[in-house]
Amino acid sequence: MSDDLDELYQTVLLEHSKRPRNFGEFPEATIHVDADNPSCGDEIHLHADFDPEGKVVKLQFTGQGCAISQASASLMTLKLQGRSGAEALQMLGDFRQLVTQEPGNEPETLGDLVAFGGVRKFPQRVKCAMLPWRAFEQAHDEWQRNSSS
């Protein structure tokens, strides 16, 4: 990756960590998930609403942690809102592949999320980047359990 591109990605991560989007309480959410990374102390509290078909209607989060976990949560909420459950889970899989496997043909749907590609070099940071996505996966699983009962 070029130095200019690395710098652009660092700027994206810093912007989202300093001014996270969709950060705040969402008490009327139908699903609340708490996730943490005990190895570093990061915490994410994800608040989610899905429509009856599983479309992600609204995501907000609170919590504390490193710049990577906060930026990942911020960008995740932006990318997943309005997507069907299947699209959201596909993006989760694409993001997991981005941060854990060798660089390759990253899907264009990831957009700014490609900024996290560099964390694959730092296994402890992969956990930070994946924390909000694991919380989303839990929220989606809970929605599925609730909607099938």
Summarize the chain as % helix, strand, coil (round to 5): 55, 15, 25
- Which residue is associated with the tokens 């504390």? 64
Convert the pLDDT of each residue in 119-144 to its tens digit: 898 888 999 999 999 999 999 999 99
Question: What is the reported pLDDT for 118?
Answer: 87
The residue ranges of every structural domain in the chain are 3-147
Listed range (7-11, 27-31, 93-97, 99-103) with the worst mean pLDDT: 7-11
When pLDDT is cut at 50, 70 and 90, the band that residue 108 belongs to is confident
The tokens for 146 are 């609730």
Residue 56 has pLDDT above 90, yes or no: yes
Which CATH class name applies to 3-147? Answer: alpha beta
Record the pTM.
0.93
